[in-house]
Structures are given as structure tokens and as C-alpha cells.
Amino acid sequence: MDEAIQAFLDHLSVERALSAHTVAAYGRDLAQFSAFARKMGIFCAEDSWDSALVGYLEGLREAGMSPNSISRKLSAIRTFCKFACREGYVKQDFTANTTGMKGIKKLPSALTIDEVNRLLAVPDAKTPAGSRDKAMLETLYATGLRVSELMSLKILDVNLAVGFVRCFGKGSKERIVPIGKVAVDYLSLYLSNGRAKFAHAGSGDYLFLNHKGKGLSRVGFWKILKKYTRQAGITKNISPHSLRHSFATHLLAGGADLRAIQEMLGHADIATTQIYTHVSREKLKEVYKESHPRA
């Protein structure tokens, strides 16, 4: 089993060019399933894994794991099994007759425009750290980038004269996203004054640097966001992804085409982007309940 799993992870990394973060997530899910199978006496890919999978899923349910999390783990096992069949590690798809738990779709946690304005007003752009933080938050809301994409930006990926940002999303797919004037102004300010305060000879060309002069991490950005969220008086439990959701939600509410939003977000499937139409419908329901006399 270990050999099959390692071959699968190599396939994801090399042939499908998935990020190290995604490959690691697959690895954790499969290692957990493999450990459970071993406890049941199943050690190799020639054995039948059917009973192990059923017992594994039941154990996750009994442990109180959410349907969404179970669905994600089952999806990882299914993808692995298809690979194992194709490569000859197993003779048949042992997940074929397994009924997956349908995840409960949660609406994205988006900020209101007022909350976004309050959040973006907090950083003090007159200080190096405030200039960097202001530029990051403005860029994230202006482009809808994933936080991993934001942290991976290099100086040359940002064309301030034209007003575009180049980023590399899932599967190393490149996309070009327009960026608004406000974000351009604060990026210009950061590049002309703030970044030089953090940079040193070994900093490389990452756009956003930490106090040690290295590329800022996702965890570092999360801590920065949490700090400004508290200072802005926002009580919602938001994450870096909340600004991405807010970007898409506000564009749709303003009349933007769903296909254009899909392109800017880097979604491979339009169905993924359509979650934002559900957000709009929920907002309509709220307005109806508040306004209609017989709601």
C-alpha cells in the first residue's frame, strides 16, 4: 500500500503539477486510511480494501467528523484508487460501490462593503509595516487572489503601469487579473518606500517580505489579518479567503458577468463560481423577509 500511495503522490506532484500543499493534504488523508487498513490486517494493494473503507468511513462518522470533511477524505481515496487501478496496483475500484456523504454547502463568509472599508482603513501606510499590510489587503480585495498566490507574487508579476497582476494558481496555471487604481497606488507606495526597509541581499524578488527580509508566509498573513480585523471592530470569524469571497460577491452584486468572475478567480469549472449566485439569492431572501409585510 505504501508503494502505491507514494507512486500516486509522485504522480500528483510531477505529472499533474499540483502544489506541495495539495499533495501533502492527499498524503495525510491516505496515510490515515492506510493506518486504519493495517489495523484490520490489510497491508498490500492486492488485498481487498472494501471492508476497510466502510469501517474507516463509519469510524469518521462516529467520531463526529463533519460531512464535508468526510467527503473530502473519500474523494482523496477515490482519486487514489482510480490511479491504483490504472497502474495495476489493484484489480478493481474498491470505492465504486461506496456512497459518499454529500457535503453541506456552506455559503462563503463575505464581508459587507462597509466592513471591507473599515478593515482597509486600519493599516497606517506611513510606516513600513503598515504600508506593506495596506498594499497586501488592498491587492487581495482588488484581485480576489488566493492567499497562497498573493504570498507567491514576485516584483515583476505586478505591472502597475498597465494595472495587471500575474499569478500562478492551482496546477501552476498562469492567469492575468486586473487591479484597480487604489491598490495600484498603495502598491506603488510600498515598493517606493516600505519594501526597502525589509529587504536585504538575500531577500530575492518576493513582493511581500517579513521583518526578516524573507517572503511572508500564509500564517504570517493570517496573523496580520486577524490583528486588523480586531482593530476594525469586525466580529465575524473571517479568514484570508474571506476577502476573496468578498471580491467575488461584490463583483456579482455590481453586475459583473459570472464567466468574467470565474476567469479572475481562476476556477476551472463554472460550477465552482456559481456558489456566489447562491450568496446573492440568500441576500434577496433577507431583503424580502425584512421588507415584505407578509414574509
Q: Assess whether 186 carries a catalytic annotation.
A: no
- Tell me the C-alpha distance between 262 and 95, whole Å: 31
- Angle separating helix axes 113-121 and 240-253, nearest 10 degrees: 130
CB-neighbour burial class of residue 57 (10 A; exposed 0-12, middle 13-18, buried 19+): buried
Q: Which position among 82, 166, 241, 283 bears the catalytic label?
A: 241
Q: Which position among 73, 134, 195, 244 bears the catalytic label?
A: 244
Structure-block grid coordinates of residue 50: 472494501
At residue 26, the pLDDT reads 93
Structure-block grid coordinates of residue 230: 480586531
Q: Which position among 26, 56, 206, 276 bears the catalytic label?
A: 276
Instruction: Supply the pTM of this predicted model.
Output: 0.64
At residue 284, the pLDDT reads 61
At residue 104, the pLDDT reads 44
Chunk the chain into consecutive blocks of 10 residues (it has 295) and report each block's average pLDDT, rounded to whole numbers. 89 89 93 84 60 75 78 89 85 68 55 95 96 97 92 94 90 88 96 92 92 90 92 88 89 87 86 71 65 65
Q: Assess whether 241 carries a catalytic annotation.
A: yes
Q: Which position among 146, 195, 245, 250 bears the catalytic label?
A: 146
- Tell me the C-alpha distance between 161 and 120, whole Å: 23
Q: Assess whether 294 carries a catalytic annotation.
A: no
Q: Which position among 11, 118, 267, 283 bears the catalytic label?
A: 267
Q: Assess whether 228 carries a catalytic annotation.
A: no
Q: Assess whether 267 carries a catalytic annotation.
A: yes
Q: Which position among 78, 118, 170, 283 bears the catalytic label?
A: 170
Q: Assess whether 285 carries a catalytic annotation.
A: no
- Angle separating helix axes 67-86 and 20-39, nearest 10 degrees: 90
- Tell me the C-alpha distance between 36 and 293, whole Å: 56
Angle of CA points 189, 190, 191, to nearest 5°: 95
